[in-house]
């Protein structure tokens, strides 16, 4: 396939970085540079485990292999092809995950005390970006489904109301989609924000596949967002930790973005990760439609079968067409197990321990399964059979009442940056009501903060943390790993 963009014809059948890395690794080069394993010669245990090809391709940058900090050779060609595939002006390889891409987006446009509008169900990387930039968060509450116990996406009206109340918003940060697959009216919101001269930054970590099938929600770049951070490893097929940052330059200075990325990214970026982005892009462009058609068909089959299991149901666009879910990524199976009187955390554990099935996450009410490029019908049939067995084992007349999902409405008392650098002390969690929190606390996955630095600790938040602890949720980022105490800002 050959596409014309900006009068330059780029062949999508090329993989400049992947092929260049293969060619370089196959040359009989005497290496006197890093890395110290010297291809397949120095560390036998790694060579035996990973294989000759991987070890030979784990190289460092050189004038002959281009440099991600200032690409002008095979990395640049590969990034240009990526930009073309995602219909944007510029694309940057990112090797420290979408965390780094998100932080680059925010640091590129948000200065100290600039206001940024964002939903509360953001990833912790956004909070950390505010700590680094000094930006002021203005939160929008996403819509919430009480029955499913999940946050959806933001509504157009909620964005409009906040823009009318805050005439000094510098940028908005949106999710496309949420962790559970919910998409907002992104095109309409982007148009609204442009009328207010507000920059649009999009966390598209779970939407790498969107541009490559017409039955999926539209991508942020196609709808002319200013920047998007995309996890190529999540749904695009690249190696874990491989991500990309996409830019439309109408309102964004690409060189500023490049400088910010160079400030955060290693000068020894992994060629294995970067070349996997090149290969994943090639696959999505040339085979993505066929693979995603298969994935969508498997997803429809799975939803039909799982919805017949007593006590279990799968979220779908038809059953959940409302504010905050303008569109749904149908490759995500959000499976509600509340009526089994068992938490999603427990179902997640049972599926892994007793059936060798690995899910994306469990929460109080749900489990999340992803139907991806490589998912087979056989794997889905295993999941269906296992859920049927679990349903019969745990069929109860009562509905889970001891735990309830919450949507936290934070009271922001200090900027995250100011709170991070303030002097702190530890208090018993039970006695911390009305104090200002000094740390992030979240369940991972998905890594959405329950409370963040600078927010008021309320009784509701304390009770919710206790529920999560008693449900064996995997809580992270706090200093006290048992979470009996919590860091608070020291009072003067």
Residue 320 pLDDT = 56
Q: How far is residue 468's CA from residue 478's CA, in Å, rounded to a whole number?
A: 14
Find how far residue 406's CA is from the centre of its chain: 21
Rg, Å, the chain Cα set: 23
Among residues 247, 245, 262, which one has the least CA distance to residue 199? 247
Contacts of 345 (CB under 8 A, 6+ apart): 362, 363, 364, 471, 472, 473
Residue 402 pLDDT = 43
Residue 397 pLDDT = 43
Please list the residues that pair with 203 across neighbouring strands: 175, 229
> Position of tokens 């991600």?
68
Give the fold, CATH level 3, of 416-489: Ornithine Decarboxylase; Chain A, domain 4 (3.90.100)
Among residues 183, 443, 375, 400, which one has the least CA distance to residue 312? 400
Q: How far is residue 43's CA from residue 376's CA, in Å, rounded to a whole number?
A: 36
Query: What is the 8-class DSSP label of residue 430?
Result: G
Query: What is the 8-class DSSP label of residue 41?
Result: T
Show the 3-state SS of 167-221: CCEEEEEEECCCCCCEECCHHHHHHHHHHCCCEEEEECCCCCCHHHCCCCCCCCC
Residue 394 pLDDT = 79
Q: pLDDT averaged over the chain?
A: 92
For the chain, count helices (H), then strands (E): 15, 22
User: Alpha helices, DSSP H only, in 196-308?
Assistant: 232-235, 254-264, 271-306
CATH 3.40.640.10 fits 67-269, yes or no: yes
Tokens of 149: 């116990």
Residue 398 pLDDT = 45
- Determine contact, residues 55/322, Cβ cutoff 8 Å: no
Phi, psi of 151 (to 5 degrees): -75, 135
SS3 content of the chain, % helix, strand, coil (to 5): 40, 20, 45
| Burial environment of residue 156 by CB neighbours within 10 A (0 to 12, 13 to 18, 19 or more) | middle
Classified as helix, coil or strand, 313 is: strand
Number of C-beta neighbours around residue 450 at 10 A: 21
For helices 377-393 and 271-306, angle between their N-to-C axes, nearest 10 degrees: 50
Residue 2 pLDDT = 37
pTM recorded for the entire structure:
0.92
Per-residue pLDDT tens over the stretch 139-179? 999 998 888 888 899 999 999 999 999 999 999 999 999 99
Q: How far is residue 349's CA from residue 314's CA, in Å, rounded to a whole number?
A: 19
- Determine contact, residues 274/71, Cβ cutoff 8 Å: no
- Determine contact, residues 111/436, Cβ cutoff 8 Å: no
Q: How far is residue 345's CA from residue 337's CA, in Å, rounded to a whole number?
A: 10
Tokens of 408: 């936290």
- Cα torsion angle, 326, 125, 422, 430, sign: positive
Query: Tens place of pLDDT for every residue, the chain, 492 residues?
Result: 333 444 565 778 899 999 999 999 988 888 888 898 988 788 999 999 999 999 999 998 888 899 999 999 999 999 999 999 999 999 999 999 999 999 999 999 999 999 999 998 899 999 999 999 999 999 999 998 888 888 899 999 999 999 999 999 999 999 999 999 999 999 999 999 999 999 999 999 999 999 999 999 999 999 999 999 999 999 999 999 999 999 999 999 999 999 999 999 998 999 999 999 999 999 999 999 999 999 999 999 999 999 999 999 998 877 555 788 999 999 999 999 999 989 999 999 999 999 999 999 999 999 999 999 999 999 999 999 999 999 998 765 444 444 445 566 788 999 999 999 999 999 999 999 999 999 999 887 787 889 999 999 999 999 989 988 888 888 999 999 999 999 999 997
Domain boundaries, the chain: 67-269, 289-393, 416-489
- Determine contact, residues 97/89, Cβ cutoff 8 Å: no
Q: How far is residue 140's CA from residue 328's CA, in Å, rounded to a whole number?
A: 20
Residue 403 pLDDT = 44
Residue 399 pLDDT = 43
Residue 362 pLDDT = 94
Please list the residues that pair with 92 across neighbouring strands: 245
Per-residue pLDDT tens over the stretch 217-256? 999 999 999 999 999 999 999 999 999 999 999 999 999 9
233-to-93, 239, 254, 419 alpha-carbon distances in Å: 12, 5, 24, 33
CATH 3.90.1150.150 fits 289-393, yes or no: yes
425-to-165, 419, 428, 458, 491 alpha-carbon distances in Å: 35, 12, 10, 17, 9
Residue 5 pLDDT = 46
Q: How far is residue 313's CA from residue 142's CA, in Å, rounded to a whole number?
A: 22
């Amino acid at each position: 396939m050959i596409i014309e963009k900006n009068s330059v014809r780029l062949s999508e059948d090329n993989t400049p970085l992947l092929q260049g890395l293969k060619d370089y690794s196959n040359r009989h080069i005497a290496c006197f540079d890093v890395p110290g394993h010297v291809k397949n010669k120095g560390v036998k245990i790694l060579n035996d485990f990973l294989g000759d090809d991987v070890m030979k391709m784990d190289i460092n940058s050189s004038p002959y292999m281009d440099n991600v900090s200032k690409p002008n050779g095979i990395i640049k060609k590969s990034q240009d092809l990526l930009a073309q595939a995602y219909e944007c002006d510029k694309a940057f390889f990112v090797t420290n995950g979408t965390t780094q891409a998100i932080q680059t987006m925010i640091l590129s446009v948000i200065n100290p005390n600039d206001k940024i509008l964002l939903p509360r169900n953001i990833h912790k990387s956004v909070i950390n970006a505010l700590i680094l930039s000094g930006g002021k968060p203005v939160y929008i509450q996403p819509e919430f489904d009480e029955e499913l116990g999940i946050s959806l996406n933001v509504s157009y009206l909620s964005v409009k109301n906040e823009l009318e109340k805050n005439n000094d918003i510098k940028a908005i940060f949106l999710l496309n989609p949420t962790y559970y697959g919910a998409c907002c009216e992104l095109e309409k919101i982007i148009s609204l924000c442009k009328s207010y001269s507000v920059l649009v930054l999009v966390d598209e970590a779970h939407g790498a596949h969107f541009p490559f099938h017409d039955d999926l929600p539209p991508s942020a770049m196609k709808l002319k967002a200013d920047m998007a951070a995309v996890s190529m490893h999540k749904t695009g097929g690249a190696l874990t930790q491989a991500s990309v940052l996409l830019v439309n330059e109408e309102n964004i200075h690409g060189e500023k973005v490049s400088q910010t990325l160079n400030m955060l990214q290693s000068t020894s970026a992994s060629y294995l990760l970067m070349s996997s982005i090149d290969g994943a892009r090639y696959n999505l462009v040339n085979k993505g439609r066929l693979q995603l058609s298969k994935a969508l068909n498997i997803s429809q089959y799975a939803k039909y079968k799982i919805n017949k299991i007593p006590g279990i149901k799968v979220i779908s666009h038809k059953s959940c067409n409302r504010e905050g879910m303008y569109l749904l990524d149908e490759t995500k199976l959000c499976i509600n197990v509340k009526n089994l009187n068992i938490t999603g955390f427990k179902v997640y554990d049972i599926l892994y321990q007793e059936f060798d099935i690995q899910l994306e996450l469990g929460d109080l009410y749900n489990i999340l399964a992803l139907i991806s490029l490589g998912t087979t019908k056989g794997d889905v049939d295993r999941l269906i059979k296992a859920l049927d067995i679990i349903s019969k084992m745990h069929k109860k007349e009562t509905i889970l009442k001891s735990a309830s999902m919450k949507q936290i409405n934070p009271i922001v008392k200090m900027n995250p940056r100011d709170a991070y650098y303030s002097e702190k002390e530890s208090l018993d969690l039970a006695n911390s009501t009305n104090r200002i929190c000094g740390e992030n606390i979240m369940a991972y996955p998905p890594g959405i903060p329950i409370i963040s630095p600078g927010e008021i600790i309320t009784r509701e938040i304390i009770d919710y943390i206790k529920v999560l602890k008693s449900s064996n949720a995997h809580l992270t980022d706090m200093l006290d790993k048992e979470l009996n105490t919590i860091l608070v800002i020291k009072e003067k």
